[in-house]
Amino acid sequence: MSAKTEKLAQKIQDVKKFVLAKENRYLSFSAIATELDSLLTCLQTQKLNLKIISRYPILSQAVQNLINRNDELKPLYYLQTETLAGIKLETEAKSPASLLLKGDPSNKTQKTRYLLSLEQKVAIGRSLDCQIQLPVDCTTVSRHHAEIRPFLNSGANKPTVSWVVYDLNSANGTYVNDISLKGNSRALTNGDRIILGKYHDCTGPEFVFEDRSTSVTSPEDELKQLLKGGDMLGLVINPIQPLSREEKTVISLAQKAKFVKIILIADTSAALQNQEIIQTNLAEIKVWQNSEKLNDILIIKSLPLKSFYHQEQSFIDAEVQQDIDSFSRLMQQLLAERGEDLIKDRVKSQFLAQLSLIDTVFDEKLATLKQELEQQQKSLGGKTLEELSEQLKKAVKQVNEERERTIPQIKFEFNESKLSLVDAYQKHSLIYKIKVFADELKAIVTERNGEKIIILKTDKMQDEETIHNYATRLCNVEIFKWSTQEWERICQNYANGGLKEFFQKTYNILSFLHNLDLDNSLFKPADKFDVSKCLRESFLEFEKTHISLPETSKKGDFILGGGAVIGAVIGAGANPMAIPLLLIQPVAMLLTRDDARQQALLNRKEQQIEGFRKGVFSHYQNFAKSMTEKVARNFTLGFQTEERRWKELVEQSIEKINSHLAQTKKSLAENNSKQNQIAKEKAELLDIIKKP
For helices 57-69 and 318-379, the axis angle rounded to 10 degrees is: 110
Amino acid residing at 472: T
pLDDT of residue 599: 65
Residue 46's closest CA among 342, 315, 304, 328? 342
| Per-residue confidence (pLDDT) for residue 587, from 0 to 100 | 35
Q: Long-range contacts made by residues 149-153, C-beta under 8 angstroms, separation at least 24?
A: 149/121, 149/122, 150/116, 150/117, 150/118, 150/119, 150/120, 150/121
Residue 489, CB-side half-sphere exposure with 13 Å CA sphere:
18
The pLDDT value given to residue 534:
65
Q: Mean pLDDT in runs of 10 for the chain (692 residues)?
A: 86 94 89 90 83 91 92 87 72 69 57 82 90 87 92 63 91 91 89 90 88 63 83 92 91 89 92 86 94 92 91 81 91 79 82 92 91 84 89 95 95 95 92 93 77 79 86 91 91 94 94 84 84 62 37 36 34 30 35 58 71 88 91 90 94 93 92 94 92 82
| pLDDT at residue 460, as a whole number | 87
Q: How far is CA 225 from the centre of its chain?
A: 36
Give the per-residue SS3 of 161-211: EEEEEEECCCCCCEEECCEECCCCEEECCCCCEEEECEECCEECCEEEEEE
Query: What single DSSP character describes residue 147?
Result: E
pLDDT in tens, 605-650: 677 778 888 888 999 999 999 999 988 998 898 899 999 999 999 9
pTM of the model: 0.52
Q: What is the 3-state secondary structure (H, E, C) of 426-450?
A: CCCCHHHHHHHHHHCCEEEEEEECC
CA 432/CA 254 separation, integer angstroms: 110
Instruction: Tell me the per-residue pLDDT of 402-415, one tens digit each, with 9 for 90 and over.
Output: 999 999 999 999 99
pLDDT for the residue numbered 611: 83
List, in order, residues 6 or more apart from 178 with CB less than 8 Å away: 193, 195
pLDDT at 641: 92
Cα separation, 524 vs 54, in Å, equals 77
**Edge-first strand listing for the sheet containing 579-582:** 547-549, 579-582, 566-569, 559-562
Domains, the chain: 95-216 (2.60.200.20), 385-678 (no CATH)
How far, in Å, are 46, 207, 342, 543, 659 from residue 7 at the CA level? 15, 38, 16, 111, 54
C-alpha span between 608 and 614 (Å, rounded):
10
- Yes or no: say if 502 and 402 are a contact pair by the CB < 8 Å rule: yes
Q: What is the dihedral of CA 124, 130, 134, 137, to 10 degrees?
A: 110
Cα–Cα distance measured from residue 16 to residue 351, given in angstroms and rounded to the nearest whole number: 11
Using CA atoms, how far apart are residues 71 and 77, in angstroms rounded to an integer?
A: 11
Q: How far, in Å, are 481, 501, 523, 532, 639 from residue 484 at the CA level?
A: 5, 19, 22, 10, 14
